[in-house]
Structure 1
Amino acid sequence: MTALDAAGEIFAVTDVLVDQPMLRRSLSDPSAGPEQRVELARTLFGSRVGPHALETIERVVRDSWTDPRHFARGVEREGVVVALKGAAGEGSLKRVTDELHTVSRAVAGSADLTALLRSAVYDLEAKRGLVGGLLEAGHPVTKLLAERAIAGHRRTFSQTLDSYLEFAADLAEVAVAKVTVAHPLDEARLERLRAALTARVGRPVSLQVDVDPAVIGGINVSIGHDVYESTV
Protein backbone atom coordinates (compact mmCIF):
# COMPACT_ATOMS: atom_id res chain seq x y z
CA MET A 1 0.00 0.00 0.00
CA THR A 2 1.31 3.45 -0.92
CA ALA A 3 1.49 6.54 1.27
CA LEU A 4 -1.23 8.01 -0.93
CA ASP A 5 -3.53 5.09 -0.09
CA ALA A 6 -2.73 5.36 3.62
CA ALA A 7 -3.45 9.10 3.63
CA GLY A 8 -6.80 8.48 1.93
CA GLU A 9 -7.70 5.94 4.61
CA ILE A 10 -6.72 8.35 7.38
CA PHE A 11 -8.93 11.04 5.85
CA ALA A 12 -11.82 8.56 5.72
CA VAL A 13 -11.34 7.87 9.44
CA THR A 14 -11.27 11.63 10.06
CA ASP A 15 -14.67 11.97 8.40
CA VAL A 16 -16.05 9.23 10.65
CA LEU A 17 -14.72 11.05 13.71
CA VAL A 18 -16.21 14.36 12.58
CA ASP A 19 -19.60 12.75 11.97
CA GLN A 20 -19.66 10.81 15.25
CA PRO A 21 -18.95 13.01 18.30
CA MET A 22 -19.36 10.15 20.79
CA LEU A 23 -16.75 8.09 18.97
CA ARG A 24 -14.14 10.84 18.93
CA ARG A 25 -14.81 11.49 22.62
CA SER A 26 -14.23 7.82 23.40
CA LEU A 27 -10.98 7.71 21.43
CA SER A 28 -9.65 10.84 23.12
CA ASP A 29 -11.09 10.25 26.61
CA PRO A 30 -8.37 11.30 29.10
CA SER A 31 -9.90 9.09 31.80
CA ALA A 32 -9.06 5.99 29.73
CA GLY A 33 -5.47 4.83 29.47
CA PRO A 34 -3.59 5.17 26.16
CA GLU A 35 -3.53 1.42 25.57
CA GLN A 36 -7.26 1.18 26.21
CA ARG A 37 -7.89 3.86 23.60
CA VAL A 38 -5.52 2.16 21.16
CA GLU A 39 -7.32 -1.15 21.61
CA LEU A 40 -10.61 0.56 20.81
CA ALA A 41 -9.08 2.10 17.67
CA ARG A 42 -7.82 -1.32 16.57
CA THR A 43 -11.24 -2.85 17.11
CA LEU A 44 -12.96 -0.11 15.13
CA PHE A 45 -10.52 0.40 12.28
CA GLY A 46 -8.14 -2.56 12.22
CA SER A 47 -10.08 -4.39 9.52
CA ARG A 48 -10.88 -1.24 7.55
CA VAL A 49 -7.48 0.36 7.02
CA GLY A 50 -3.99 -0.84 6.19
CA PRO A 51 -1.07 -1.15 8.63
CA HIS A 52 0.42 2.26 7.78
CA ALA A 53 -2.84 4.12 8.39
CA LEU A 54 -3.61 2.12 11.55
CA GLU A 55 -0.16 2.78 13.02
CA THR A 56 -0.61 6.50 12.37
CA ILE A 57 -4.06 6.56 13.98
CA GLU A 58 -2.77 4.63 17.00
CA ARG A 59 -0.01 7.20 17.47
CA VAL A 60 -2.54 10.03 17.55
CA VAL A 61 -4.83 8.09 19.90
CA ARG A 62 -1.97 7.63 22.38
CA ASP A 63 -1.49 11.39 22.69
CA SER A 64 -3.36 13.44 25.30
CA TRP A 65 -6.25 15.54 24.00
CA THR A 66 -8.28 18.04 26.02
CA ASP A 67 -10.80 18.63 23.22
CA PRO A 68 -12.19 15.78 21.06
CA ARG A 69 -12.44 18.16 18.10
CA HIS A 70 -8.71 18.78 18.31
CA PHE A 71 -8.22 15.02 18.28
CA ALA A 72 -10.08 14.70 14.95
CA ARG A 73 -8.00 17.52 13.51
CA GLY A 74 -4.87 15.79 14.75
CA VAL A 75 -5.81 12.64 12.84
CA GLU A 76 -6.44 14.70 9.72
CA ARG A 77 -3.12 16.52 10.10
CA GLU A 78 -1.28 13.21 10.26
CA GLY A 79 -2.99 12.16 7.03
CA VAL A 80 -1.67 15.29 5.35
CA VAL A 81 1.83 14.59 6.66
CA VAL A 82 1.69 10.97 5.43
CA ALA A 83 0.76 12.18 1.94
CA LEU A 84 3.51 14.82 1.91
CA LYS A 85 6.11 12.34 3.15
CA GLY A 86 5.11 10.04 0.31
CA ALA A 87 5.72 12.86 -2.17
CA ALA A 88 9.05 13.64 -0.52
CA GLY A 89 10.08 10.00 -0.71
CA GLU A 90 9.68 9.98 -4.47
CA GLY A 91 11.32 13.38 -4.93
CA SER A 92 8.08 15.18 -5.79
CA LEU A 93 7.57 17.39 -2.73
CA LYS A 94 8.57 20.62 -4.50
CA ARG A 95 6.23 19.88 -7.39
CA VAL A 96 3.37 19.22 -4.97
CA THR A 97 4.00 22.40 -2.97
CA ASP A 98 4.25 24.49 -6.14
CA GLU A 99 0.95 23.06 -7.39
CA LEU A 100 -0.78 23.58 -4.04
CA HIS A 101 0.40 27.18 -3.93
CA THR A 102 -0.76 27.82 -7.49
CA VAL A 103 -4.27 26.47 -6.96
CA SER A 104 -4.55 28.18 -3.57
CA ARG A 105 -3.75 31.56 -5.10
CA ALA A 106 -6.03 30.92 -8.08
CA VAL A 107 -8.98 30.32 -5.77
CA ALA A 108 -8.09 33.08 -3.31
CA GLY A 109 -7.82 35.53 -6.21
CA SER A 110 -11.28 34.68 -7.54
CA ALA A 111 -14.30 35.84 -5.56
CA ASP A 112 -16.52 33.57 -7.66
CA LEU A 113 -14.45 30.43 -7.01
CA THR A 114 -14.19 31.22 -3.31
CA ALA A 115 -17.95 31.71 -3.05
CA LEU A 116 -18.69 28.49 -4.95
CA LEU A 117 -16.41 26.42 -2.72
CA ARG A 118 -18.02 27.87 0.42
CA SER A 119 -21.58 27.58 -0.87
CA ALA A 120 -23.92 25.06 0.73
CA VAL A 121 -25.81 24.81 -2.57
CA TYR A 122 -23.04 22.80 -4.27
CA ASP A 123 -22.33 19.31 -2.98
CA LEU A 124 -18.85 17.97 -2.30
CA GLU A 125 -18.55 16.15 -5.62
CA ALA A 126 -19.44 19.27 -7.59
CA LYS A 127 -16.78 21.23 -5.71
CA ARG A 128 -14.22 18.50 -6.32
CA GLY A 129 -15.02 18.61 -10.01
CA LEU A 130 -14.47 22.36 -10.01
CA VAL A 131 -11.06 22.14 -8.36
CA GLY A 132 -10.18 19.05 -10.38
CA GLY A 133 -10.46 21.17 -13.50
CA LEU A 134 -7.64 23.33 -12.16
CA LEU A 135 -5.46 20.28 -11.48
CA GLU A 136 -5.91 18.04 -14.50
CA ALA A 137 -2.15 17.53 -14.82
CA GLY A 138 -1.49 17.73 -11.09
CA HIS A 139 0.44 15.21 -9.02
CA PRO A 140 -1.80 12.59 -7.31
CA VAL A 141 -0.80 13.92 -3.88
CA THR A 142 -1.75 17.45 -4.94
CA LYS A 143 -5.15 16.22 -6.09
CA LEU A 144 -5.74 14.27 -2.87
CA LEU A 145 -4.84 17.22 -0.65
CA ALA A 146 -6.88 19.66 -2.73
CA GLU A 147 -9.89 17.36 -2.40
CA ARG A 148 -9.28 17.17 1.33
CA ALA A 149 -9.09 20.95 1.61
CA ILE A 150 -12.52 21.23 -0.03
CA ALA A 151 -13.94 19.20 2.85
CA GLY A 152 -12.31 21.53 5.40
CA HIS A 153 -14.59 22.03 8.36
CA ARG A 154 -13.25 25.29 9.81
CA ARG A 155 -11.37 27.34 7.24
CA THR A 156 -11.57 28.37 3.62
CA PHE A 157 -10.09 26.21 0.88
CA SER A 158 -7.08 28.51 0.41
CA GLN A 159 -6.43 28.81 4.15
CA THR A 160 -6.47 25.04 4.47
CA LEU A 161 -4.03 24.61 1.58
CA ASP A 162 -1.76 27.24 3.13
CA SER A 163 -1.67 25.18 6.33
CA TYR A 164 -0.68 22.13 4.26
CA LEU A 165 2.15 24.16 2.76
CA GLU A 166 3.38 24.95 6.26
CA PHE A 167 3.46 21.23 7.05
CA ALA A 168 5.46 20.66 3.86
CA ALA A 169 7.93 23.39 4.82
CA ASP A 170 8.47 21.80 8.23
CA LEU A 171 9.01 18.45 6.53
CA ALA A 172 11.58 19.93 4.15
CA GLU A 173 13.14 21.97 6.99
CA VAL A 174 12.76 25.23 5.11
CA ALA A 175 11.16 28.57 5.93
CA VAL A 176 8.28 29.68 3.71
CA ALA A 177 8.49 33.28 2.55
CA LYS A 178 5.24 34.68 1.18
CA VAL A 179 6.29 37.33 -1.31
CA THR A 180 3.95 39.90 -2.83
CA VAL A 181 5.21 42.08 -5.68
CA ALA A 182 3.69 44.51 -8.16
CA HIS A 183 5.22 42.72 -11.15
CA PRO A 184 6.78 39.27 -11.66
CA LEU A 185 10.45 39.01 -10.64
CA ASP A 186 13.02 37.47 -12.96
CA GLU A 187 15.10 34.51 -11.81
CA ALA A 188 18.11 36.67 -10.90
CA ARG A 189 16.06 38.82 -8.53
CA LEU A 190 14.36 35.78 -7.06
CA GLU A 191 17.73 34.20 -6.33
CA ARG A 192 19.03 37.40 -4.70
CA LEU A 193 15.90 37.61 -2.57
CA ARG A 194 16.13 33.93 -1.59
CA ALA A 195 19.81 34.33 -0.64
CA ALA A 196 19.12 37.47 1.43
CA LEU A 197 16.23 35.85 3.30
CA THR A 198 18.20 32.65 3.88
CA ALA A 199 20.98 34.71 5.46
CA ARG A 200 18.44 36.56 7.61
CA VAL A 201 16.55 33.54 8.99
CA GLY A 202 19.49 31.13 9.10
CA ARG A 203 17.94 28.28 7.10
CA PRO A 204 16.88 27.59 3.50
CA VAL A 205 13.92 29.62 2.27
CA SER A 206 11.17 28.61 -0.15
CA LEU A 207 9.52 31.51 -1.99
CA GLN A 208 5.78 31.68 -2.64
CA VAL A 209 5.34 34.63 -4.97
CA ASP A 210 2.07 36.47 -5.64
CA VAL A 211 1.62 39.45 -7.94
CA ASP A 212 -0.47 42.37 -6.66
CA PRO A 213 -0.37 45.69 -8.59
CA ALA A 214 -1.19 47.52 -5.34
CA VAL A 215 2.40 46.88 -4.17
CA ILE A 216 3.70 49.70 -6.33
CA GLY A 217 7.45 49.64 -6.84
CA GLY A 218 8.08 47.50 -3.81
CA ILE A 219 7.94 44.09 -2.26
CA ASN A 220 6.23 42.65 0.78
CA VAL A 221 7.66 39.53 2.40
CA SER A 222 6.27 37.62 5.36
CA ILE A 223 7.91 34.66 7.08
CA GLY A 224 5.69 33.39 9.83
CA HIS A 225 4.70 36.42 11.90
CA ASP A 226 7.59 38.56 10.62
CA VAL A 227 6.84 41.03 7.81
CA TYR A 228 9.47 42.83 5.73
CA GLU A 229 8.98 45.59 3.17
CA SER A 230 11.48 47.06 0.76
CA THR A 231 11.89 48.27 -2.80
CA VAL A 232 12.87 45.96 -5.63
Structure 2
Amino acid sequence: MAGASSESLAAALADLETTLPTASLSLARELFGILAVLDGSAGLRRALTDPSREGAEKSALVHSLLDGKASGEAVEITAKLAASRWAGARDISDALETIASTVACAVAEQGAGTASGLSGLEKLQNDLFAFNNTVEGNHELQAALTEQQASPEARRTLALRLVPEASEEARLLIGQAVSAPRGAKPTALVEKFASLAAGRQKRWIADVAVARPLGEGQLKRLQDGLNTLYGRELKINTTVEPSLVGGLRVTVGDEVLDASTVTRLGDLRRQLAAQAR
Protein backbone atom coordinates (compact mmCIF):
# COMPACT_ATOMS: atom_id res chain seq x y z
CA MET A 1 0.00 0.00 0.00
CA ALA A 2 1.50 3.32 -1.04
CA GLY A 3 0.69 6.93 -1.90
CA ALA A 4 -2.80 8.11 -1.04
CA SER A 5 -3.78 4.75 0.44
CA SER A 6 -0.83 4.70 2.80
CA GLU A 7 -1.60 8.23 3.96
CA SER A 8 -5.28 7.38 4.50
CA LEU A 9 -4.43 4.30 6.55
CA ALA A 10 -1.94 6.25 8.68
CA ALA A 11 -4.58 8.91 9.36
CA ALA A 12 -7.19 6.28 10.20
CA LEU A 13 -4.85 4.54 12.65
CA ALA A 14 -3.99 7.84 14.32
CA ASP A 15 -7.69 8.65 14.66
CA LEU A 16 -8.33 5.16 16.02
CA GLU A 17 -6.01 5.74 18.99
CA THR A 18 -8.69 7.80 20.74
CA THR A 19 -11.06 4.82 20.55
CA LEU A 20 -8.66 2.06 21.56
CA PRO A 21 -8.45 2.67 25.34
CA THR A 22 -12.11 1.65 25.72
CA ALA A 23 -12.43 -0.68 22.72
CA SER A 24 -13.78 -4.21 23.14
CA LEU A 25 -13.17 -7.39 21.23
CA SER A 26 -16.70 -7.20 19.86
CA LEU A 27 -15.65 -4.11 17.89
CA ALA A 28 -12.85 -6.08 16.23
CA ARG A 29 -15.31 -8.87 15.41
CA GLU A 30 -17.74 -6.38 13.87
CA LEU A 31 -15.02 -4.80 11.76
CA PHE A 32 -13.94 -8.20 10.49
CA GLY A 33 -17.60 -8.85 9.66
CA ILE A 34 -17.79 -5.62 7.66
CA LEU A 35 -14.55 -6.63 5.95
CA ALA A 36 -16.30 -9.81 4.78
CA VAL A 37 -19.06 -7.66 3.27
CA LEU A 38 -16.52 -5.54 1.39
CA ASP A 39 -14.57 -8.57 0.20
CA GLY A 40 -17.80 -10.09 -1.06
CA SER A 41 -18.67 -7.16 -3.33
CA ALA A 42 -16.22 -5.76 -5.86
CA GLY A 43 -18.85 -3.23 -6.88
CA LEU A 44 -19.14 -1.88 -3.36
CA ARG A 45 -15.37 -1.57 -3.02
CA ARG A 46 -15.21 0.37 -6.29
CA ALA A 47 -18.02 2.64 -5.17
CA LEU A 48 -16.29 3.38 -1.86
CA THR A 49 -12.94 4.13 -3.49
CA ASP A 50 -14.19 6.00 -6.58
CA PRO A 51 -12.07 9.19 -6.76
CA SER A 52 -14.82 11.02 -8.64
CA ARG A 53 -17.18 10.73 -5.66
CA GLU A 54 -17.12 13.13 -2.74
CA GLY A 55 -16.06 11.72 0.61
CA ALA A 56 -19.38 12.67 2.21
CA GLU A 57 -21.26 10.75 -0.49
CA LYS A 58 -19.20 7.60 0.10
CA SER A 59 -19.57 7.95 3.85
CA ALA A 60 -23.34 8.26 3.45
CA LEU A 61 -23.36 5.07 1.38
CA VAL A 62 -21.71 3.19 4.25
CA HIS A 63 -24.31 4.49 6.70
CA SER A 64 -27.17 3.53 4.38
CA LEU A 65 -25.84 -0.02 4.15
CA LEU A 66 -24.70 -0.62 7.73
CA ASP A 67 -26.72 1.54 10.11
CA GLY A 68 -28.71 -0.75 12.39
CA LYS A 69 -26.68 -3.80 11.29
CA ALA A 70 -23.50 -2.98 13.22
CA SER A 71 -22.62 -0.77 16.16
CA GLY A 72 -22.40 2.96 15.58
CA GLU A 73 -18.69 2.82 16.41
CA ALA A 74 -17.95 0.17 13.76
CA VAL A 75 -20.05 1.95 11.15
CA GLU A 76 -18.37 5.30 11.84
CA ILE A 77 -14.89 3.80 11.52
CA THR A 78 -15.85 2.31 8.16
CA ALA A 79 -17.55 5.52 7.01
CA LYS A 80 -14.41 7.54 7.76
CA LEU A 81 -12.36 5.05 5.75
CA ALA A 82 -14.78 5.42 2.83
CA ALA A 83 -14.48 9.22 2.99
CA SER A 84 -10.70 8.97 2.56
CA ARG A 85 -8.76 8.64 -0.69
CA TRP A 86 -7.61 5.21 -1.90
CA ALA A 87 -5.31 4.33 -4.77
CA GLY A 88 -7.00 0.98 -5.43
CA ALA A 89 -10.32 -0.69 -4.66
CA ARG A 90 -8.71 -3.44 -2.56
CA ASP A 91 -6.83 -0.96 -0.39
CA ILE A 92 -9.88 -0.01 1.68
CA SER A 93 -10.39 -3.70 2.57
CA ASP A 94 -6.71 -4.09 3.47
CA ALA A 95 -6.97 -1.01 5.67
CA LEU A 96 -10.06 -2.32 7.44
CA GLU A 97 -8.27 -5.62 8.12
CA THR A 98 -5.38 -3.70 9.68
CA ILE A 99 -7.72 -1.60 11.79
CA ALA A 100 -9.74 -4.61 13.00
CA SER A 101 -6.60 -6.50 13.99
CA THR A 102 -5.18 -3.37 15.66
CA VAL A 103 -8.32 -3.18 17.79
CA ALA A 104 -7.80 -6.82 18.84
CA CYS A 105 -4.18 -6.06 19.76
CA ALA A 106 -5.25 -3.01 21.75
CA VAL A 107 -7.75 -5.09 23.72
CA ALA A 108 -4.91 -7.46 24.61
CA GLU A 109 -2.85 -4.41 25.57
CA GLN A 110 -5.53 -3.41 28.07
CA GLY A 111 -5.28 -6.80 29.78
CA ALA A 112 -3.97 -7.07 33.31
CA GLY A 113 -1.41 -9.71 32.36
CA THR A 114 -1.11 -13.39 33.19
CA ALA A 115 -0.10 -15.50 36.14
CA SER A 116 3.26 -16.11 34.46
CA GLY A 117 3.96 -12.38 34.45
CA LEU A 118 3.45 -11.90 30.72
CA SER A 119 1.60 -8.81 29.58
CA GLY A 120 -1.50 -9.22 27.45
CA LEU A 121 0.45 -8.23 24.34
CA GLU A 122 3.27 -10.66 25.10
CA LYS A 123 0.75 -13.47 25.58
CA LEU A 124 -0.94 -12.55 22.30
CA GLN A 125 2.35 -12.64 20.42
CA ASN A 126 3.35 -15.94 22.03
CA ASP A 127 -0.01 -17.51 21.15
CA LEU A 128 0.25 -16.40 17.53
CA PHE A 129 3.82 -17.65 17.21
CA ALA A 130 2.86 -20.96 18.85
CA PHE A 131 0.15 -21.47 16.24
CA ASN A 132 2.52 -20.74 13.38
CA ASN A 133 5.22 -23.00 14.79
CA THR A 134 2.76 -25.86 15.03
CA VAL A 135 1.39 -25.40 11.52
CA GLU A 136 4.64 -24.69 9.70
CA GLY A 137 6.13 -27.96 10.90
CA ASN A 138 3.23 -30.11 9.68
CA HIS A 139 2.41 -30.37 5.97
CA GLU A 140 -0.89 -32.15 6.66
CA LEU A 141 -2.08 -29.28 8.85
CA GLN A 142 -1.01 -26.75 6.23
CA ALA A 143 -3.04 -28.59 3.61
CA ALA A 144 -6.09 -28.93 5.89
CA LEU A 145 -6.09 -25.24 6.82
CA THR A 146 -5.95 -24.16 3.18
CA GLU A 147 -8.38 -26.76 1.82
CA GLN A 148 -10.85 -24.77 -0.28
CA GLN A 149 -13.45 -27.54 -0.14
CA ALA A 150 -13.63 -27.17 3.64
CA SER A 151 -15.93 -24.48 5.00
CA PRO A 152 -14.40 -21.42 6.68
CA GLU A 153 -15.96 -22.53 9.97
CA ALA A 154 -14.42 -26.00 9.67
CA ARG A 155 -10.98 -24.49 9.08
CA ARG A 156 -11.48 -22.15 12.02
CA THR A 157 -12.53 -25.01 14.32
CA LEU A 158 -9.46 -27.04 13.37
CA ALA A 159 -7.14 -24.08 13.88
CA LEU A 160 -8.48 -23.27 17.33
CA ARG A 161 -8.05 -26.87 18.46
CA LEU A 162 -4.32 -26.34 17.99
CA VAL A 163 -4.22 -23.49 20.54
CA PRO A 164 -6.61 -24.44 23.35
CA GLU A 165 -4.87 -22.14 25.86
CA ALA A 166 -4.72 -19.11 23.58
CA SER A 167 -6.24 -15.79 24.63
CA GLU A 168 -9.54 -14.65 23.16
CA GLU A 169 -7.71 -12.03 21.12
CA ALA A 170 -5.38 -14.65 19.65
CA ARG A 171 -8.27 -16.99 18.91
CA LEU A 172 -10.09 -14.22 17.04
CA LEU A 173 -7.04 -13.37 14.94
CA ILE A 174 -6.11 -16.98 14.22
CA GLY A 175 -9.70 -17.77 13.31
CA GLN A 176 -9.78 -14.79 10.95
CA ALA A 177 -6.51 -15.81 9.30
CA VAL A 178 -7.63 -19.35 8.47
CA SER A 179 -11.27 -18.60 7.60
CA ALA A 180 -10.63 -15.47 5.52
CA PRO A 181 -6.96 -15.35 4.49
CA ARG A 182 -7.81 -13.05 1.58
CA GLY A 183 -5.33 -14.59 -0.82
CA ALA A 184 -2.51 -14.96 1.70
CA LYS A 185 -1.20 -18.02 3.48
CA PRO A 186 -2.91 -18.21 6.89
CA THR A 187 0.46 -18.35 8.63
CA ALA A 188 1.61 -15.23 6.76
CA LEU A 189 -1.49 -13.39 7.95
CA VAL A 190 -0.94 -14.59 11.53
CA GLU A 191 2.62 -13.30 11.25
CA LYS A 192 1.28 -9.92 10.14
CA PHE A 193 -1.03 -9.84 13.17
CA ALA A 194 1.92 -10.72 15.43
CA SER A 195 3.90 -7.83 13.93
CA LEU A 196 1.06 -5.44 14.75
CA ALA A 197 1.07 -6.69 18.34
CA ALA A 198 4.85 -6.27 18.50
CA GLY A 199 4.48 -2.70 17.25
CA ARG A 200 2.07 -1.88 20.06
CA GLN A 201 4.33 -3.61 22.57
CA LYS A 202 7.14 -1.23 21.59
CA ARG A 203 4.95 1.67 22.71
CA TRP A 204 5.41 0.42 26.28
CA ILE A 205 9.20 0.10 26.06
CA ALA A 206 11.68 2.96 26.32
CA ASP A 207 15.07 2.09 24.84
CA VAL A 208 17.54 4.38 26.59
CA ALA A 209 21.06 4.82 25.21
CA VAL A 210 23.50 6.58 27.56
CA ALA A 211 27.12 7.62 27.27
CA ARG A 212 27.83 6.15 30.72
CA PRO A 213 25.80 4.03 33.15
CA LEU A 214 23.04 5.78 35.08
CA GLY A 215 22.93 5.69 38.84
CA GLU A 216 19.88 4.36 40.63
CA GLY A 217 18.61 7.86 41.41
CA GLN A 218 19.15 9.06 37.84
CA LEU A 219 17.31 6.06 36.46
CA LYS A 220 14.36 6.62 38.80
CA ARG A 221 14.09 10.30 37.82
CA LEU A 222 14.18 9.33 34.16
CA GLN A 223 11.55 6.63 34.74
CA ASP A 224 9.24 9.07 36.55
CA GLY A 225 9.63 11.70 33.86
CA LEU A 226 8.93 9.33 30.99
CA ASN A 227 5.95 7.80 32.77
CA THR A 228 4.54 11.32 33.21
CA LEU A 229 5.17 12.22 29.58
CA TYR A 230 3.52 9.10 28.13
CA GLY A 231 0.85 8.66 30.76
CA ARG A 232 1.69 5.03 31.47
CA GLU A 233 4.28 2.81 33.15
CA LEU A 234 7.10 2.20 30.68
CA LYS A 235 9.65 -0.59 30.78
CA ILE A 236 13.13 0.92 30.42
CA ASN A 237 15.92 -0.92 28.61
CA THR A 238 19.32 0.79 28.90
CA THR A 239 22.42 0.39 26.74
CA VAL A 240 25.76 2.17 27.07
CA GLU A 241 27.18 3.97 24.01
CA PRO A 242 30.31 5.91 25.08
CA SER A 243 30.42 7.86 21.80
CA LEU A 244 26.84 9.13 22.14
CA VAL A 245 26.65 12.86 21.48
CA GLY A 246 24.67 14.63 24.20
CA GLY A 247 24.99 11.68 26.54
CA LEU A 248 21.41 10.40 26.27
CA ARG A 249 18.91 9.17 23.68
CA VAL A 250 15.46 7.77 24.46
CA THR A 251 13.38 5.90 21.90
CA VAL A 252 9.73 5.05 22.57
CA GLY A 253 8.08 3.43 19.58
CA ASP A 254 8.84 5.73 16.63
CA GLU A 255 9.59 8.76 18.80
CA VAL A 256 13.15 9.76 19.70
CA LEU A 257 13.95 12.13 22.56
CA ASP A 258 17.41 13.65 22.95
CA ALA A 259 19.17 14.80 26.10
CA SER A 260 17.82 18.35 25.90
CA THR A 261 14.23 17.12 25.61
CA VAL A 262 14.60 14.81 28.57
CA THR A 263 16.25 17.58 30.62
CA ARG A 264 13.33 19.92 29.91
CA LEU A 265 10.96 17.14 30.86
CA GLY A 266 12.74 16.65 34.18
CA ASP A 267 12.64 20.39 34.89
CA LEU A 268 8.91 20.50 34.15
CA ARG A 269 8.22 17.50 36.38
CA ARG A 270 10.11 19.13 39.27
CA GLN A 271 8.20 22.40 38.76
CA LEU A 272 4.88 20.56 38.84
CA ALA A 273 5.90 18.70 41.97
CA ALA A 274 6.90 21.99 43.65
CA GLN A 275 3.59 23.63 42.74
CA ALA A 276 1.67 20.72 44.21
CA ARG A 277 3.24 21.20 47.65
Instruction: Describe the SS at the equivalent of 1:141.
Output: helix
Aligned partner of 2:36 in structure 1 is 15
1:29-48 to structure 2, matched below 5 A, reads 29-48=50-69
The CA deviation at 1:121 is 2.5
Aligned partner of 2:4 in structure 1 is none
Q: 1:121 to 1:30 in 2, by over 3 A?
A: same
Q: Is the 8 A contact 2:25 2:107 kept in 1?
A: yes
Q: Report which of the two structures shows the higher radius of gyration computed on alpha carbons.
A: 2
The CA deviation at 1:58 is 2.2
Aligned partner of 1:74 in structure 2 is 95
Counterpart CA distance in 2 for 1:61 and 1:156 is 27
Counterpart CA distance in 2 for 1:139 and 1:97 is 10
Aligned partner of 1:26 in structure 2 is 47
Aligned partner of 2:141 in structure 1 is 113
- Unpaired runs of 5+ residues, structure 2, are 1-21, 113-119, 204-236, 242-249, 254-277
Cα-to-partner distance string for 1:77-127 (whole Å, 9 max, x where unaligned): 111111111111224221111101110121112111111111222221211
Counterpart CA distance in 1 for 2:33 and 2:240 is 39
Aligned partner of 1:122 in structure 2 is 150
Aligned partner of 2:110 in structure 1 is 89
- Unpaired runs of 5+ residues, structure 1, are 175-194, 206-232
Counterpart CA distance in 1 for 2:177 and 2:240 is 30
Match for 2:167: what amino acid? H
Instruction: Describe the SS at the equivalent of 1:70.
Output: helix
The answer to whether residue 176 in structure 2 is matched with residue 155 in structure 1 is: no
Q: Is the 8 A contact 1:25 1:68 kept in 2?
A: yes
Match of 1:172 among 201, 214, 224: 201
Of all paired residues, the percent bearing the same amino acid is: 22
Considering only aligned residues, what root-mean-square deviation do their CA atoms show, in Å?
Answer: 2.5
The CA deviation at 1:64 is 1.1
1:214-225 to structure 2, matched below 5 A, reads none
The answer to whether residue 83 in structure 2 is matched with residue 62 in structure 1 is: yes
Aligned partner of 1:133 in structure 2 is 161
The CA deviation at 1:16 is 0.8
Counterpart CA distance in 1 for 2:138 and 2:173 is 20
Counterpart CA distance in 2 for 1:140 and 1:198 is 39
Misfit runs of 4+, over 3 Å: 195-199, 202-205
Counterpart CA distance in 2 for 1:103 and 1:11 is 20
The CA deviation at 1:139 is 1.0
Aligned partner of 1:102 in structure 2 is 130
Q: 1:63 to 1:171 in 2, by over 3 A?
A: farther
Match for 2:181: what amino acid? G
Q: 1:197 to 1:42 in 2, by over 3 A?
A: farther
Return the TM-score normalized by structure 2: 0.61
The CA deviation at 1:203 is 5.4
Q: Is the 8 A contact 1:132 1:143 kept in 2?
A: yes
Match for 2:202: what amino acid? E
Q: Is the 8 A contact 1:105 1:158 kept in 2?
A: no
Cα-to-partner distance string for 1:4-53 (whole Å, 9 max, x where unaligned): 11111111111111111111111111111111111111111121111221
Q: 1:156 to 1:197 in 2, by over 3 A?
A: farther
Instruction: Describe the SS at the equivalent of 1:22.
Output: helix
